[in-house]
Homo-oligomer: A and B are copies of this chain.
């Protein structure tokens, strides 16, 4: 059932190997007080920092910096960024980095003028901002999260061991523009590249594996998955293949900008499991997802059997003739497993630093989602986490 919904995604995307120059078209639309937000320094090594600074200076910007945004941005870091942006009377926030930097920058953008505590307001009560939002632009250097074209922002609270994502409803929280240069992703280590690829794939799965009826969103999802599987195999063998990296980058954006969730209830339980593992191990996001995915999908398969058969047929080209639905569905998940191993993804949480004695605590940090094929109870979460060890 496609149902009733709204769709609005006004982010302007500049895609390609010459895309940074469009920063010159965008900056004049905002005030001069710019806060540049970036991670732990790779943009200084690969020259992107210098290129961006040159453009900011040429446009007469007054620049403050928030540096050292970590892979799982913390609440403490958020408080620090809010202070810097306030003191600078920020007109505009420019994120240069991957999904964590973009997520973090959006979290700052809704918090600078917020009188409440942002953790309480946005991550416990899941409220929308009622203050002025500072506009955000992104220069993307890593691929996977889709943060460049959505209103999501994940923040980790180390004190409470909670890694929580809030997808805001207001499209004004989406970046005003994002610059997507596939060249910037070519220098990424293989581990990060494949973690990003799996993050993309799982974003699509979380939306695809939900709902009783098949609709246009499922068909678009299958197209995106097929594109990603093809491009990932090329990039895995030759990470310098610009064309494959371009298609991966573009697929990532469309996997999580709300399009393929229209008319779907959407699941997100793999992300809840993965984020709980991440909060306890600080492991790379995409790898936490790959490590828990197959135990999860094999467990819920009987509850969404028809969709898993469709997945086998339409995504993995499994010939289903003469096979039971269970056999066909299983073959689809086996094909997915083979592809994951081919890419060199982490297939268990032990490798990420989780151990049997942490399982109960990880389970306590796992939020239970209610719109997938099976609502998990605590025992089921523990069982899936144990099978992920």
Contact = CB atoms under 8 A, between A and B. Distances in A.
A323 to B, nearest CB: 17
A192 interface: no
A18 B3 CA distance: 10
Identical chains in the assembly: 2
Contacts of A19: 4
Contacts of A166: none
A9 B259 CA distance: 12
A10 B13 contact: no
A136 to B, nearest CB: 16
A7 B13 contact: yes
Interface in A1-37: 1-19, 22
A247 B216 contact: yes
Interface in A128-166: none
B223 A219 contact: yes
Interface residues of A, number: 46
Contact of A243 (B2, B171, B251, B262): B2
Contacts of A251: 216
A9 B149 CA distance: 12
A14 B6 contact: yes
Nearest to A7: B13
Contacts of A214: 230
B227 A219 contact: yes
A224 B216 contact: yes
Interface string A219-262: 11111101100110000000000010011001100100001001
A113 interface: no
A174 B126 CA distance: 32
A111 B157 CA distance: 54
A155 to B, nearest CB: 27
Contacts of A16: 2-5
A215 interface: yes
A171 B176 CA distance: 14
A11 B8 contact: yes
B15 A250 contact: no
A6 B2 contact: no
A254 B5 CA distance: 15
A230, A231, A247: residue with the most chain B Cβ atoms closer than 10 Å: A247
Given A8-B10, A10-B8, A223-B219, A2 B262 contact: no
Nearest 4 pairs of A and B residues by beta carbon:
A4-B16, A223-B223, A219-B227, A10-B10
Given A10-B10, A216-B227, 4 more contacts: A216-B224, A219-B224, A222-B226, A246-B263
